[in-house]
């Protein structure tokens, strides 16, 4: 059992509707010790491949993404859910991301300036459930003609379709914690990790 799995059992709270509340250490209050452990896990898995940039989506992916980028000594880019006044239509790539939780489709954008064809981009996010946010990031990277080096996730709800969706598109996915079930308000991890 890795550090993040231990913290989920200690401090995570399961709420009705398959919701796992980890806002005491991962996505509202953020414990830097959790970040350091998460970054080490990603480095172990992805550390030997060519990565020229780390990308995530605002807001809760930013903390693990910047700390990993600092270790890899590459820039980090976060996709924005709002349209910055400094970025014109023809200066950006955009894609639509549907949130099943909020039942809402939002436009997500990045500036064309910051991904080039020869980039090899690692996608990082805190949660993977339906995979819509990650597939949106994949779309943005591919619009730029760049390569997806892989996808790194802190917590995956393996009983939802995101994992298969990403694997089916031929992308290497590594999730630090894979949750098999949240039934009966109990967290059960998958036995095999990846």
Binding site residues, a second copy, CB under 8 A: 15, 19, 21, 23-25, 28-32, 35-36, 58-59, 62-63, 66-67, 69-70, 73-78, 80, 84-87, 101-102, 110-111, 113-114
Instruction: Give 13's Cβ-side CA count (13 Å radius).
Output: 6
Which is nearer to a second copy, 126 or 156 (by Cβ)? 126
Minimal distance in Å, beta carbon 75 to a second copy?
A: 5
Minimal distance in Å, beta carbon 73 to a second copy?
A: 7
Which is nearer to a second copy, 26 or 177 (by Cβ)? 26
User: How far apart are the C-alpha atoms of 34 and 28, rounded to whole Å?
Assistant: 13
Minimal distance in Å, beta carbon 77 to a second copy?
A: 5
Kind plus residue range of the DSSP H or E element containing 184? none
CB-neighbour burial class of residue 67 (10 A; exposed 0-12, middle 13-18, buried 19+): buried
Minimal distance in Å, beta carbon 44 to a second copy?
A: 19
End-to-end CA distance of the chain: 13
């Amino acid at each position: 059992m890795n550090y993040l799995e231990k913290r989920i059992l200690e401090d995570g709270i399961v709420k009705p509707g398959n919701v796992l509340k980890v806002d005491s250490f991962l996505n509202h209050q953020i414990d830097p010790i959790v970040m350091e452990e998460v970054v080490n896990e990603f480095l172990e898995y992805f550390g030997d491949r060519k990565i020229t940039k780390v990308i995530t989506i605002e807001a809760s992916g930013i903390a693990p993404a910047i700390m990993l980028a600092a270790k890899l000594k590459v820039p980090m880019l976060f996709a924005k859910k709002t349209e910055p006044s400094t970025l014109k239509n023809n200066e950006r790539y955009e894609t639509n991301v549907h949130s099943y939780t909020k039942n809402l489709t939002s436009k997500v954008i990045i500036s064309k300036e910051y991904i080039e064809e020869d980039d090899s981009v690692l996608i990082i996010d805190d949660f993977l459930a339906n995979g819509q946010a990650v597939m949106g990031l994949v779309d943005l990277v591919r619009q730029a003609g760049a390569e997806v080096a892989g996808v790194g996730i802190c917590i995956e709800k393996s009983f939802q379709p995101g994992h298969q969706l990403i694997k089916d598109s031929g992308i290497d996915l590594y999730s630090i914690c894979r949750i098999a079930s949240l039934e009966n308000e109990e967290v059960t991890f998958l036995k095999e990790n990846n």
